[in-house]
Amino acid sequence: MTTAYRGLVGQVLERGEVLAALDAALADARGGEGRTVLLAGEAGLGKTTVLRAWTDTLSDVRLLEGACDDLVTSRTLGPFHDAALDAPALRAALAAGGTDAVHDAVLAELSHPVTVLVVEDVHWADEATLDVLAVAARRVARLPAVLVLSYRDDEVDPGSQLQRLLGGLPAASTRRPALRPLTVGAVTTLAGAAGLRVHAATLGNPFLVTELLAAQSEGLPVSVRDAVLARVADLPRPSQELLDLLAVIPGHADDVLLDALRPTWRDDVEAPERRGIVGLAQGAVAFRHELARQAVEQALPPIRRLGLERAVLAALLAHDPPDRARILHHAARCADVDAVLAHAPAAARAAAAAGAHQQSLAWYAQLAPHAERLPAAEQAAIAEEHAWELYTAHRVEEAVATARHAVALRTAGDDPGATVRALVGLSRHLYIRGDVADAVATLDEAVALAPEDVLARTHRGVLHVLADQEEAGLAELAAVPPTALGTVYRGLGRAFLGHGDGPDIVREGLDAARASGHREHAARGWTSLVKALRRLGRDDEVAAVVAAGLESARSGDFLSHGYSLEAFGLQLMVDDGRWDAAEAGLRRLVDTVPEAGILARETLPPLGRLLARRGDPDADAVLARAWELATRSDSLPVLLTTAAGLAEKAWLDGDGEREHARVRALLERSRRPGLAGARGDLLRQGLRAGVPVAPDEPVADLWPWHALALTGDAGAAAAWPAGSYEQALELVDAGDEESITAGLRILDDLGAAPAARLARRRLQALGVRRIPRGPQAGTRAHPAGLTPRQADILALLADGLTNAQIAARLVLSVRTVDHHVSAVLAKLGVASREEAAHLSRKA
């Protein structure tokens, strides 16, 4: 492998390890074991340079290359359109417009021995691109291929889709070679006597080093911008004009576009190419580095920049087929409303169909201020579609407002069928917001307007199932022709009523939705299947369904369904005793999705309850939010679950009486089929809080573990999974020294401090002298009593990291880190993070 470095002086410096890692990945691929190679680093660190140095040496390899561009709104599947220039089958799949077809086509391309697919600047990728890359990265280990992804690691937001992709890559097939700044020695090799000054000014960033040295000034330029502009100023005037043009075109400009804009470009490009300012590849021209393009662009007088933007837009508008992402980028830059109106609707719809919902939403947002210039019917259609994209992005309040606007536009028209469709859409958004009664009323209005409309009646049946009116919902669904969505909710309704065939019927509807290609209905099928299994107590089947459902939901960029499915998985972690991971995950969902609406029923109650079990002071506030949501939606299962959490918290606080009235009211209201699990839980927690079980309570109808506990059976503890919190409580409730001690050890292992304190008091009351001591081993090992996670946080504080940087490093939300930092300061007895860092460094 050659080490030719295409930098200023033609030599590779300190990139041998990266090139070796790429070579090793290729060798593995030649043996049939593909690899993903991640090349991360800040802007200017040399990601593109080292990739060009490597790919220039490849032989007997099929090379596909693509890049993501810094457009106002990213191109949907942009890098694959680039790669498709050398892949006809991929080009055909992209033209067909189906995301699944693109997934299959990319995997097919990677199946040709040996293929290298390079995708640069993934931090600018759209969701559809990230979905395809995630699928490819998970499959590449079985393919004769290397997938190389470059990105700026300082532009990966915590909790973003890119972070989830990077964090979820299989370790066995993923390589992460370190790309570091140049050392003083390397810079001195390039700069000679000025090496120390150049390194101090650039911190070893190769691009900055190159630009400063290439400026060839007497002293160092005051900025990289000055260095770039000094190099440009030495070029012939026609070349400078070409660079001005290229500066307003992010990414690359192809020969067709340049022929239309500047027919002399082939002559004009020679000087800047020779000086390494721009590069040519496959008939396209681009700045060698984005920072150089930005420097030239920012130096343009506003009127000059606007004229160039308009010229580029005109050339793009004249080309067929239109590149709508680029058209809309330049239309936004020069405020061309006509171009936005002409191209944004089609761009937004195509992005949504490809699963790039964030891109779709961005284009609807670009269109919305000007939509009133369109015909009323088109305005209404756009509002309906925009509302749906807002819903997928968890922007519930805006979704409701936009859907109401669509209903108003449809009502003013003369198409009752269109009005019905708008009302159905509004009802969905109202339900997600938690306004269940308003959602039902909206569907009643739709059915009144068109009594035989299958869509309206199907959705009313669905909503009745979700609103604890299962019998009415099943009757409505039985009265209309079957659909995949209707079958899903028919199965869910039966499961909610306690019928064991419910999950099988849900699966039938899910399979039908997948076969028809309706990905959102399929996503609903996955969430409904989990709900059906959980309601019936078949938790051992849930983990596999969550994993498959998450992959489906994320591939379609359905954030709301992904939220629910991830929450279900975290609930299982709580049950399994993996409390640290469960708390971090639940906090992240709660913190990063402030408008979860009714979906927060899957996060707030379990998080509040977990915090109560751990003695976290946030528990009361989280449970209060959960109760507010439960009462707003008036959903019995959510009310029961949340009330059980509040009763448990009251018992742990030694004030069970405060929840008596709430527990009694809900037990009276919930005497109906299908609530065995939630009702049994409330009965058990209520009994601990001091609410006796009514003599006429049909305990035998509850789940076995609840029934045994409520009847005082000695086998109650054994009915729960070994080592679980519930088993520990039943052991403590057994009342004898041996059982209480066994329960206490489990509680200490879990970190369930409040319940552990109650257990110790019971042992003391029995006169036991040798009581196991707490807290848990991880906390005892730290001199300040920090948990292992808190110790990690303290170490990063000592390194000078901000909360946001700590969140990115530990894959947590910023708010979760805020909580941890507050706990660390409290345990250390200091008032500031600086004092905490000082104490840590002294230790």
Q: Which of 412, 472, 423, 475 is nearest to 450 (CA)?
A: 423
pLDDT tens per residue across span 376-431: 999 999 999 999 999 988 899 999 999 999 999 999 999 999 999 999 999 999 99
- Residue 446: HSE in the Cβ half-sphere, 13 Å Cα cutoff: 29
Stretches in the chain below the pLDDT threshold 70: 1-12, 215-223, 556-557, 774-785, 788, 811-813, 815-816, 831, 841-843
pLDDT tens per residue across span 755-784: 999 999 999 999 998 888 766 544 555 666
**Rounded Cα distance, 424 and 401, in Å:** 14
Residue pair 532/507 in contact by the 8 Å Cβ criterion: no
Residue whose entry in the numeric block shows the structure tokens 């520990």: 728
**Rounded Cα distance, 200 and 202, in Å:** 6
Cβ neighbour number for residue 118 with a 10 Å cutoff: 24
Residue by residue, what is the 3-state secondary structure of 569-590? HHHHHHHHCCHHHHHHHHHHHH
CB within 8 Å of 377: residues ≥ 6 apart: 409, 413, 415, 418
Residue pair 286/278 in contact by the 8 Å Cβ criterion: yes
16-175 in CATH: which number? 3.40.50.300
Domain layout of the chain by residue ranges = 16-175, 184-337, 356-591, 601-777, 782-842
Q: How far is CA 714 from CA 127, 720, 758, in A?
A: 54, 12, 20
**Encoded tokens for 144:** 């004769």
**Rounded Cα distance, 124 and 79, in Å:** 10
Residue 11 pLDDT: 54
**Encoded tokens for 12:** 């590779």
Omega within 30 of 0 (cis) for the link into 321: yes
**Encoded tokens for 599:** 């979906």
Residue 781 pLDDT: 54
Helix, strand or coil for residue 150? Answer: strand
Phi, psi of 574 (to 5 degrees): -60, -50
**Rounded Cα distance, 69 and 290, in Å:** 10
**Rounded Cα distance, 566 and 572, in Å:** 10
Residue whose entry in the numeric block shows the structure tokens 């922007």: 395
Residue pair 152/207 in contact by the 8 Å Cβ criterion: no
CA max distance for the chain: 97
Residue 792 pLDDT: 81
Q: Which amino acid is at 788?
A: P
Residue whose entry in the numeric block shows the structure tokens 């192809």: 254
What CATH topology corresponds to 782-842?
Arc Repressor Mutant, subunit A (1.10.10)
CA dihedral 460, 466, 472, 475 (to 10 degrees): 70
**Rounded Cα distance, 555 and 551, in Å:** 6
Residue 2 pLDDT: 27
CA dihedral 734, 740, 742, 746 (to 10 degrees): 100
CB within 8 Å of 719: residues ≥ 6 apart: 704, 705, 708, 709, 730
Per-residue DSSP letter, 10: S
Length of the chain: 843
Residue 782 pLDDT: 62
**Rounded Cα distance, 649 and 661, in Å:** 15
For 824-839, letters b (16+ CB in 10 Å) and e give: bbebbeeeebeebbeb
**Rounded Cα distance, 268 and 457, in Å:** 66
**Rounded Cα distance, 806 and 817, in Å:** 7
Residue 292 pLDDT: 86
> What is the Cα gyration radius of the chain?
31
What CATH number matches the domain at 356-591, 1.20.120.160, 1.10.240.10, 1.25.40.10, 3.20.20.70?
1.25.40.10
For 285-313, letters b (16+ CB in 10 Å) and e give: bbbbbbbbbbbbbebbeeeebeebbbbbb
Please spell the DSSP secondary structure of 692-727, one letter per residue: PPPTT--GGGS-HHHHHHHTT-TTTGGGSPTT-HHH
Specify which residues 284 forms β-bridges with.
254, 281
Residue pair 174/146 in contact by the 8 Å Cβ criterion: no
Measured at the alpha carbon of residue 227, what is the angle toward residues 221 and 229, in degrees to the nearest 5?
Answer: 130
**Encoded tokens for 199:** 């390194």
Please spell the DSSP secondary structure of 467-493, one letter per residue: TT-HHHHHHHHHTS---HHHHHHHHHH
Residue by residue, what is the 3-state secondary structure of 387-436? HHHHHHCCCHHHHHHHHHHHHHHHHCCCCHHHHHHHHHHHHHHHHHHCCH
